[in-house]
Amino acid sequence: MLAPGTKPVLFVTAASLLAALTTAPLYIWSGPEAVYASPPWVHHITAIALHLACGWLALGVYDRLLPARSALIAVAIFLLHPAQVEPVAAAEGLRPLIAALGALAAWRLFVAGRLWIAAAVSAAASFVHIGAAGLPLALMALEWGMQRRRQTALPLALMAVASAASLTLRGGVSFDFFARQGVALLRALWVFMIPIGLAPVPGVEAPPLAASLAWGVIVVLAILSLRGVRAAQEGYWLLAALLLALPEFSAFATDDMASGRRFYLPLAAAASLAGLALRKTPKPVLALLATLFAAITLSQTLMWRNETSLWMESARMSPGELRPRLELARLLAPAQTVELMEDTLEGHPGDIRVLAALAHTYSRAGRYEDARRTMESALRLAPCSRGVRDAARLLGLNALPPCPSTSAP
């Protein structure tokens, strides 16, 4: 057994490692429906508090379903894993963390036998953010592998209907997006096991065959996990992680193709799997692993404090991704930005976002004629793009070409 006071130490350690985020900028990446707090330090303190609360609720689930040693290892991984820094530092506002909190509360209530309250909390969480919409499937698998109580059928059905409704309201179905999510999900599982290559915009581009094979691997993993579903063994936690990930890694497109924040709630199940796998590991080895994870988590936290360092690391890890370069275009000095965006344009010829950013960069560097020509090229390619037209006006191009869709016949 581990020391009785280990649990409080884990929560204090997690808070200490993440405390440096209070000096980080406010990363606003999503639409107007996102929830942010102001000023930035209040937002980050709120996010850290939500993460610690999620860890406390997860521990309540682990204590009921796992051996004591496994439960402690699982909550340590959930709290301290380096991949958890991104959801806390740059979640889609606070919505995903709030939804995860609700989902974990519903899970804890469900295993405690408070079925209808669990159903209501789960339904509310799924409408806060679709990240919680996979919980009914995970609970169905749990019930099927354990007691199979008749009285759980209606509460689980309510949860499932609410989750389906939340996904329907989300909309934005894209099968092109879905085709690459198998690769993104396998990458998330790999980063969980080997926390290296962490970046806010990881590269997940893959040819069609590789993308199809990725989903094939996931299906095989799900089938193999069915053997261990009974009595919440290892197979159940692997299956639960996959089921919890489905709403995020599916056809419901988001701006983040493979953002690490989308594996936040599934990591709670994956941590349980690791807790069971490591339960017989000697204490010195566990201490060494915890130290390594804490060191990587601290380095991630420090990186998120500096926006330039964050996007430079992301550009280095994902050279084919466009977003890190566009973010750097507004942060670097004009001379550096011109070189970066000219190189980006070579890799993305004709991309109006790159052309608009390059035009703005030329303007910052005092190359106004180059800026005008570049923006005119962007306008020829996308005369109806509001973003391009707004950027052109900022450069002083007021005589804009008519938009074919709005021009008079």
- What average pLDDT does the segment 332-361 reach? 86
The whole-angstrom separation of Cα 358 and Cα 221 is 45
Q: What is the pLDDT of residue 32?
A: 62
Any idea which of 28-32, 35-39, 163-167, 244-248 has the lowest mean pLDDT? 28-32
Supply the DSSP symbol for 351. Answer: -
**Which domains occur in the chain, in start order?**
6-309 (no CATH), 352-409 (1.25.40)
Point out the least confidently predicted range of 47-56, 166-175, 193-202, 253-262: 253-262
Residue 184: per-residue pLDDT: 84
Q: What is the DSSP letter of 228?
A: G
Higher pLDDT, 378 or 158: 158
* Distance in angstroms (rounded) separating the CA atoms of residues 45 and 99: 17
Instruction: Verify cis geometry, omega within 30 degrees of 0, for the bond prior to 284.
Output: no
One-character DSSP codes across 49-102:
HHHHHHHHHHHHHHHHHS-HHHHHHHHHHHHH-GGGHHHHHH-SBTHHHHHHHH
Ranked by mean pLDDT, the top range of 120-134, 307-321, 373-387 is 120-134
- Using the predicted structure, report yes or no on whether residue 170 has a pLDDT greater than 80: no
In this prediction, residue 2 carries a pLDDT of 46
pLDDT at 407 over 50: no
pLDDT at 253 over 60: no
Distance CA 237, CA 260 (A): 19
pLDDT of residue 259: 62
The whole-number pLDDT of residue 408 equals 35
Per residue in 266-296, pLDDT (tens digit) is 999 999 999 999 999 998 999 898 899 899 9
Q: Across residues 120-125, what is the average pLDDT? A: 96
Lowest mean per-residue pLDDT among 133-142, 169-178, 323-332? 169-178
Q: Which is higher by pLDDT, 396 or 214?
A: 214
The three-class DSSP label of residue 254 is coil
Whether the predicted pLDDT of 362 surpasses 80:
yes
pLDDT of residue 212: 79
pLDDT digits 0-9 by tens, 49-70? 999 999 999 999 999 999 999 9
DSSP class of 134: T
Q: What is the mean pLDDT of residues 223-246?
A: 89
More confident: 392 or 165: 165
Taking only the tens place, the pLDDT of each residue in 69-95 is: 999 999 999 999 999 998 898 877 898
Average pLDDT, the chain: 85
CB 362 within 8 A of CB 371: yes
The pLDDT value given to residue 3: 53
Q: What is the pLDDT, as a whole number, of residue 298?
A: 93
Tell me, yes or no, if the pTM score tops 0.85: yes
User: If DSSP codes are grouped into helix, strand and coil, which group holds residue 328?
Assistant: helix
Token pair in block for residue 16:
């200490």
pLDDT 10s digits, 27-44: 876 666 778 888 999 999
Q: What percent of the chain has pLDDT over 70?
A: 90
Side-chain-side CA neighbours of 51 within 13 Å: the count stands at: 35
Separation of first and last alpha carbons in the chain: 80
